Structure 1
């Protein structure tokens, strides 16, 4: 999804979204039940469920980072079927003052440097899908954090 504003090659060179430290492992993406079942994850990976989302257990690598077990030398093993949270990263759906909003994290410098106007223009074709996911899966709504920049409200 996010390839509407970020080239796949740029993501492939970085992969920061697939590696986590002890401080940011909380940000590992969760699958909705539908995504989890669609990708036949059960039985292939160790996982746990929290707040209606399914999370894959990760092990640390030689750099003392947790690495998503779906990351291969060729990128995500799920390809276009990756979970919604991965597909829109570094964008997040959050609750701000009882309103649902779309924000961008400063962890991805390539997207964060874009203006809100550039982001909105780039995602205009997927914005309805983002709004639908927020409505249908409230468990995808994240806590607002200081390193997020407000982009737009999703509910009018």
Structure 2
């Protein structure tokens, strides 16, 4: 979904979006039941919990510098290929609720996009991606996360929640 602006090679080398510490474990993606099954077939010990109609990983308490890696992450990348959860397909863009409105924000840990001009990132959203994100969130409100301080707001939805 972001191939025009973010290279697959950069993502494959980085993988920061697939590894979580105790401070960003809230960012784990929301999965469909079908994707949960695919992951469980490959990684039988993987557990999920429901979240507003979707599923997220059951992650135990992380201590210190302990990390949680997405069970779909393999040595060659994501086992789900192009069938990744929507959260993953739009990352580092995030959809969050900010003051009663949905907004598209940017995760600052993605070096590849974070150092680009904000105008380029916003223009890419305005070229159609924002409409797709908001439309998906209409059907799957479970992907909308509460606003987390430090995420630059790039674009507010035109209509209130």
Q: TM-score, normalised by structure 2?
A: 0.81
Q: Which residue of 1 aligns with 2:145?
A: 142
* 1:80-102 CA distance string (max 9 Å, x none): 11000111111111112222111
- Which moved further from structure 2: 95-104 or 37-46? 37-46
Q: Which residue of 1 aligns with 2:70?
A: 68
Q: TM-score, normalised by structure 1?
A: 0.84
Q: CA deviation at 1:36?
A: 2.8
Structure 2 CA distance, aligned partners of 1:67 and 1:116? 29
Q: Which residue of 2 aligns with 1:127?
A: 130
Q: CA deviation at 1:125?
A: 3.7
Q: CA deviation at 1:115?
A: 2.5
- Which moved further from structure 2: 36-45 or 105-114? 36-45
Matched-pair contact (CA < 8 Å) for 1:58–1:68: no
Structure 2 CA distance, aligned partners of 1:87 and 1:12? 13
Q: CA deviation at 1:147?
A: 1.7
Q: Is 1:87 the counterpart of 2:84 in the alignment?
A: no
Q: Which residue of 1 aligns with 2:47?
A: 46
- Which moved further from structure 2: 133-142 or 35-44? 35-44
Matched-pair contact (CA < 8 Å) for 1:2–1:87: yes
Q: CA deviation at 1:42?
A: 7.2
- Which moved further from structure 2: 46-55 or 3-12? 46-55
Q: Secondary structure at the match of 2:153?
A: strand
Q: Which ranges in structure 2 are unaligned for 5 or more consecutive residues?
A: none
Q: CA deviation at 1:105?
A: 1.5
How big is the alpha-carbon RMSD for the aligned residues of Structure 1 and Structure 2?
A: 2.2
Q: Which ranges in structure 1 are unaligned for 5 or more consecutive residues?
A: none
Quick one: which of 103, 119, 140 aligns to 2:105? 103
Quick one: which of 146, 154, 157 aligns to 1:154? 157
